[in-house]
Amino acid sequence: MSNLVSVEWLNSHLNDENLIILDATIPKVTSKAEITKLEVIPNAIFFDIINKFSDVLAPFPNTIPSQVQFQESAQELGVNNNSKIVVYDALGIYSSPRVFWLFKTFGFENVFVLNGGLPEWKKQGYKTVLEYAKTSSKGDFTAKYQYYKNVLIDSICEILENNSFSIIDARSSARFNCEIPEPRKKLRSGTIPNSVNLPYQMVLDNGLLKPKKELKSIFSKLINNQNLVFSCGSGVTASILYLAALEADYTNTSIYDGSWTEYGTLIK
C-alpha cells in the first residue's frame, strides 16, 4: 500500500467525515526566498512544525517533541484515533514527510503525504482558499512513542561500527563533500563517518515522488542491506528519503533526528 495520495484523490474526498488535511509548510533553510501569499487547500489546518511540534527548548532545530507535547498538540488540531490524515506543503514534497514521520513515530499509521503538494494541486487547477480551517473540537488521539524510528546520537555512534546498517545523508552533494559551508551559522562542514550521500532531490521528479520501480533502483545501487538510517541537516529532508524508502518497500527504516547539526556540533 502506498503512503501517498494523489491530488485527484484528495479533491474527490475533501469532505470525507474523518479526513484531516494538514499544511506543514516551512521555508527551506538553504533558501532566502519566503512564501508571502497564503494559498491553502480547502479544509486544511496549519501544522506548526517549528513552534508546536518541535521541542523549542532543545539546543538543536526541529528536535522531536515529547510524547505528551505531540499528543496534546495533535489533539488541539482535532486529530482522533480514527482520523485519516493527509499532509502537504507549499513546496511540493519538502516538509510534509517530516510530519508523516512524526505521526508514524508516535504510533499513528493512517497518515499519507499528498504527492506533489500544493504546486501539483494548483497545476491541476483545483481550488485554493486564503485562510486555514478552524478546528471544531479537541481530538482523542493517543500517542505511543515508537523509539526505534528515532535514532539518538549514542545509537549513531554504535551504528557506525555495525555493517548491517547504512546511514544515508539527504543533503546536497556539495554540502556532503564539504565544498560549500553549512547554511547554519557556526556549524562546521563535514559528514558522519561511513555515511553515503543521496541528495533528496534525486528521489523527486518535478515535485512528485518518483515511481516505486525507480526508487528501488536508486536504493539498490546505493546500499546492500535493509537497515537504513536517514540523516540531513536537522531531520527535515531526511524524512523525504524515509518516505521514499518506505515506498521502495524497505521496512527497517529510521531517522537520526539530530542529524548533522547535532553530530557536527557534539562530535569533533
- State the residue for C-alpha cell 539498490: 220
Q: Is residue 121 classed exposed, middle or buried when 0-12, 13-18 and 19+ CB atoms within 10 A define those classes? A: buried
User: Nine-digit cell at 26?
Assistant: 516551512
Does 216 share its domain with 233? Answer: yes
As a whole number of angstroms, the distance between CA 154 and CA 132 comes to 40
Question: 76-96: string of b/e by CB count within 10 Å (b at 16+)?
Answer: ebbbbeebbbbbbbbbbbbbb
**Coil, helix or strand for 25?**
coil
Domain boundary (82, 111, 145) is at: 145
Does 30 share its domain with 138? Answer: yes
pLDDT of residue 136: 83
Query: β-pairing, 208-209 with 204-205?
Result: antiparallel
For the CA atoms of 68, 70, 76, 81, the dihedral, rounded to the nearest 10 degrees, stands at -90
For the annotated catalytic residues, the residue numbers are 232
Does 130 share its domain with 236? Answer: no
Q: What is the pLDDT along the chain (268 residues), one digit of tens a residue?
A: 899 999 999 999 999 999 999 999 998 765 554 555 689 999 999 999 999 999 999 999 999 999 999 999 999 999 999 999 999 999 999 999 999 999 999 999 999 999 999 999 999 999 999 999 999 899 999 999 999 999 999 999 899 989 999 999 999 999 999 999 999 989 999 999 999 999 999 999 999 999 999 999 999 999 988 899 999 999 999 999 999 999 999 999 999 999 999 999 999 8
Does 127 share its domain with 42? Answer: yes
Name the pTM for this structure.
Answer: 0.95
With both helix axes pointing from N to C terminus, report the angle between 212-222 and 238-247 in degrees, rounded to the nearest 10: 110
Does 9 share its domain with 119? Answer: yes
pLDDT of residue 1: 85
Length of the chain: 268
Residues in Cβ contact with 236 at an 8 Å cutoff, skipping those fewer than 6 apart:
26, 29, 62, 94, 95, 98
Does 198 share its domain with 257? Answer: yes
Split into its structural domains, the chain has a count of: 2
Does 12 share its domain with 138? Answer: yes
Q: Tell me which DSSP letter residue 125 carries.
A: T
Nearest to 156 by CA among 49, 237, 267: 267
Does 62 share its domain with 140? Answer: yes
Does 234 share its domain with 155? Answer: yes
Domain boundary (96, 117, 145) is at: 145
Domain boundary (96, 111, 145) is at: 145
> Residue 228: which CATH number?
3.40.250.10
Does 153 share its domain with 112? Answer: no
Does 42 share its domain with 106? Answer: yes
Query: β-pairing, 84-88 with 111-114?
Result: parallel
- State the residue for C-alpha cell 521496512: 251
**Range(s) of the domain holding residue 220:** 148-266
pLDDT of residue 27: 81
Does 126 share its domain with 250? Answer: no
Backbone angles phi, psi at 111, to 5 degrees: -130, 140
Between the CA of residue 22 and those of 114, 135, 159, 188, 236, what are the distances in Å? 10, 11, 34, 34, 16
pLDDT of residue 28: 75
